[in-house]
Amino acid sequence: MIEIFYKSKGSILCTQELKELENFGFDDILWIDLFSPGGEEKRAVEEFLDTTLQSRAQAEEIESSSRYSETDTTIFANTNFMIPGPDDYSLETVSFIISEGILVTIRQVPLRTFTDMQRKLSFSPKQFPTGYHILVSILENRIDLDADMIELMSKEIAQFSKRVGEGEDVNEDFLLDINQLQENTMLVRENIIDKQRMISSILKSDKFPRDIHSKLNVLVKDISSLLNHINFSFERLEYMQNTVLGLINLDQNKIMKLLAFVSLLFMPPTLISGIFGMNVKLPLVDKGVSDFIIIMVIMLMTVIAASYLFKKHDK
């Protein structure tokens, strides 16, 4: 699907008719949004801008350090947009191309950022005179959404910490949940750093209008704050993980101590019963019921003695 946003009498309108490209000039169009585009749509945009659009495979294979590039007439940028799921997050690559002041975006999934951006264009058309301004606004919106996700993760971490503090049952599943949170935190950090690299590259470019540099500098500061928040959350998760492992080890030690105590109690009686069960002549044998009582008393005394020694050593 293609959506073409163009200027018309002080407003910004949208059309999905591919043939309309033939009626526009470079000064008319601000943004061409390609959502899961077909071959015909991509070829029409390439002919209109006289450039080559990257395929999805090409955008995903580009190394993170080389995801921004410029030619004499065109800017190519690729970045990941995070999509939250019920348990984990996924990353979707979005390509940005700016040529002749026109922004072209290529994506494969619906994204809230683009929906919000389309709404802004209709409400405040004067704020977006070029495709450069639209790109920066998209990045602003995306970073705000990432900040919201980081805040939700922090609340989830706080809930886990509360459960540990209240002494709730911590088991293997609880530990796996913490590990999943750690994976999500690292994915968020990777996503934020990807935005940081892209904005740093934009700041170094001489093609972007100077009036948007102040917004870019604010975004850089916001990203630094988010990275500090993410690092703190990851450290908190590591501390919580170590605490849970310590609690699990304590429970296991209690079980092992109980088993050792029970084993120790029955060792002396087992030894005595083994001795008097041997098929040899022994004292106090075959002389009546009193012999059985004496042996049982000896066993009981050994159990009491073992229990006393174990508790005294445990203190």
* Protein fold of 255-314: Methane Monooxygenase Hydroxylase; Chain G, domain 1 (1.20.58)
Q: Summarize pLDDT for 150-207 with one digit per residue, the tens.
A: 888 888 878 777 777 766 666 677 777 777 788 888 888 888 888 888 888 888 888 8
Amino acid at 34: L
What confidence score (pLDDT) does residue 280 get? 46
Q: What is the pLDDT of residue 161?
A: 76
Q: How far apart are CA 142 and CA 113, in angstroms?
A: 6
Give helix 112-123 / helix 131-165 axis angle, nearest 10°. Answer: 130
User: Domains of the chain: which residue ranges?
Assistant: 2-248, 255-314
Maximal CA-CA distance, the chain? 121
Sequence-distant (≥ 6) Cβ neighbours of residue 171 within 8 angstroms? 248
Closest CA to 150 of 226, 221, 77, 208: 226
pLDDT < 70 regions, the chain: 54-66, 86-87, 166-171, 247, 250, 272, 275-295, 309-315
DSSP 90-116: EEEEEEEEEETTEEEEEESS--HHHHH
Question: What pLDDT digit, counting tens, does each position of 5-23 carry?
Answer: 888 877 888 888 888 777 7
d(CA 69, CA 63) in angstroms, rounded, equals: 12
Q: How far apart are CA 68 and CA 57, in angstroms?
A: 16
Residue 1 neighbours by CB distance under 10 Å: 10
If DSSP codes are grouped into helix, strand and coil, which group holds residue 81?
A: strand
User: What is the Cα–Cα distance from 50 to 52, expressed in whole angstroms?
Assistant: 7
> Candidates 3.40.50.300, 3.40.50.1360, 1.10.20.10, 3.30.460.20; correct CATH number of 2-248?
3.30.460.20
- The reported pLDDT for the residue numbered 294 is 67
